[in-house]
Structures are given as C-alpha cells and as structure tokens.
Amino acid sequence: MKRPIRKSNSDALAIKGVLDKLSIDDLNIKGKRVFIRVDFNVPFDDNLRITDDSRIRSAMPTINYAIDEGARVILASHLGRPKGKPDPRYSLAPVAKRLQRLLDKDVIFAPDCIGPQVEGLISRMKDGDVILLENLRYHAEEEKNDEEFSKNLAHLADFFVNDAFGAAHRAHASTVGIAKILPSAAGFLMKKEIEYLKGVVDNPIRPFAAILGGAKVSGKIGVLEHLEDKVDKVLVGGGMAFTFIKAMGYEVGESLVEADMIETAQRIRKKLKNAGIKFYLPVDCVISQTLEPGAETKIVPTLEIPKGWKALDIGPATVKLFSEALENTKTILWNGPMGVFEIDAFSRGTFSIAQAVADAYALTIVGGGDTDLAVHRAGVSNAISFISTGGGASLQLLEGRELPGLAALTDKALEKT
C-alpha cells in the first residue's frame, strides 16, 4: 500500500520566505479590474476538443479567489503559435466553454484581446464577472514585448496578476510589458511554483536526489552546474546518459550522443564525483534498431551495445539501482524521462522510476512537460508532492537564472497596494 507522504516539515522549509514579490492576496481588488495572465495553452485533438485541462484547473485557485473578492476578472492567455494573426485553430473559444463548466458560472468570451469592442465588454462587467480574451498571439506585438501593445493591455485593468508560470521565462507584453505599467503581483500558482522549485533547491531536506533525463545533455547542463553544491545524488537516464557514457570512453552503438558536449559531460561528471556527490548512470538498457512498432528489442549492459543498435530505455537492473538510490532520500527532483516512454516497448523504465518516486518517503517534485505526462500515464500523479506546470520556465529557474515574468512583478518591499 502506498505510504502517506510526510509533508509538514519538508513543505514548510520549501516555502519559507522565497517569494519577494507581491501576491494577489496583497492587493485590494474588490470592484477593481484585474488582468490575470494565465497559461491556458492546452492540447487539442483534431476535432479541436481539449484533451487535457490540467493547466486550466491549475489556475482555478487564483481565479476563484479573485471572483470571491469581488474583482472584475480579465483572463488572458496564448495558445499555440498562430504567428501574429487570427487563426481559428488557435482560438481560445473552446477554453472559455471548459472554464465556464469548471467555474459553474458564465464566462464572457471576447473576440480580441485589445480594442474598442473588448473595452466595451469590460466596461459592462460587474463585480465577480469573468471575461476571457482571445489569443494574445493573434498580435505579433505580444511576443515582441511591444510598448504600445503593452499599454493597450494595461488600459483594460487596474491591477496585473501573473499566474502563468509556464510563460514566465518569456519577456512578452503580457508577462513583462504590462507588469511595468500596472501594480503587479503573482497568482497562487506562480507563487507555489517558485516556492517549491526555488525553495527546495535553495534549502532542501537531505539527502537530496536529482533525477535528470530526456534527450540532450545540453538542455540540463545549467541545472547540473547550479545543483552541484546542493544535491547529494544525481541519477542520469534518457538519451543524455549516453553522452556521459561515451565521454568515459565506451561505445554506445547508435545511441544518441551530443558530440560537442562530450568534453563538458566528462568535466561535469568528474566535478560532481570529486565533490562527493553520488553520480549514477544506467548499467543496462533496452535497445532496438528502430522505433517502429513491433521492432525487435533486447536488454543489454550499457557497455555492450552492439553496432547498429540504439538505447531507447533504461533496463531492469538500472531501475533497481535507481530505486534503491532513492529509498533513503528526503527530497527528490525529477526532470526528464528515462527513455522514449511514448512507445510501449520503451516505457517501462520511465514508469518504474515514476513509481519509485511516488513510493519515496520524501518531498517529490516533478518538472518539465514530458515528465509531467509520464507520471500521469504511470498513474502516480496524485502521489507526487508537486508537479510543475512549466517546462522551459522550470528549467530556467533550476539553473538559477532569472525569470523575466517574475522579475517584472512589484517587489514586496514596496508599500502594499
């Protein structure tokens, strides 16, 4: 039976004094127009039906708070890449319908995000009303952080609240430009993301283990370098593991290797080991010659991958090794799958690690879109302490880099509005 996750001490330390920006509950928003930047960039099927509404649900605490406080709630988001012009494939109209169902109240849908028609709809709003603006990226000025476009957005509201952590690493008009014009605060989701990701990395309950996977070393080097004096164990899987193995002088068949990262991988591995950090690489793997369904697969030691074959998942011995390494940990951060888990033949390693993380008696944090999907498919999402909604944003934060969408918000040190 799944053991309950002990969260009291871990969570308290994770969130203590991390966010130095105003949050929505610092604002007096009753009767005010509150522009809330959300991340409703949800996936659709071919019939334009939403296949996963978790990003909408993640914003519900902030939206419901604003409604309960009597604000006039203006929601804005991007969706996909419409390339700066209206495209019905990227309309937020289906999102408005789903949001209306989740809120159990009317949601006004605006045909644009700026302009006289939008201003007219907002002018007729009453306290507690909700309006969702059409896709911000229908205007090319959004991604350019255009000053005039930012002013047009700011003209719609009295306060700005950023609850779109998934877009916080973008310096766009709706994340940065508007925040420089209006009194600005973090929403509850943004606050929670920062508190968990930054708080745990800065002040983890030890032993602290980081599991890193995915295709490329280049995408995780910044994370490894930032964690090198904070983490106790590093477990590396996925395609990126084979750049490390190649750097150690071993053959890896046709497995993914970033040739220009071999020297860097070797330097990082030696630096971590010299610092006394336990560094784990796969000891066996599932190999195939192709990703085609029904293709022959084998389980072999990672140092015995034949020519013409490629590693596409970690093997059972690695699962056991990694799982045992996690058993005594108190904090686990996981970013990146262990293999090509979207294909059944190469999913067992990732799903097994997901189960091991879920079973750990620790504060567990999952970051990155692929890892989020993996824990949901493994059926253990409810047993994870925190699942980040941001891929690029979470990586940037874990690298210790500033998030423009967070930096632009009003400092808490300033007088509360």
Q: Give the residue numbers annotated as catalytic, written as ranges.
A: 55, 216, 369, 392
Q: In what helix (H) or strand (E) does residue 76 lie, and over which residues does it extend?
A: strand 72-76
DSSP 114-177: SSHHHHHHHHT--TT-EEE---GGGSTTTTTT-HHHHHHHHTT-SEEEE--GGGTTS--IIIII
- Is 85 strand, coil or helix? coil
Q: Residues 12, 16, 19, 21: what is their CA dihedral angle, to the nearest 10 degrees?
A: 110
Cα dihedral 72, 37, 45, 110 sign? positive
**CA-to-CA dists, residue 146 to 135, 177, 402, angstroms:** 16, 7, 21
Strand 284-288 to strand 310-314: parallel, antiparallel, or no bridges (unpaired)? antiparallel
How far apart CA 118 and CA 132 sit, in angstroms, is: 10
Task: Count CB-CB contacts under 10 A for residue 376.
Answer: 17
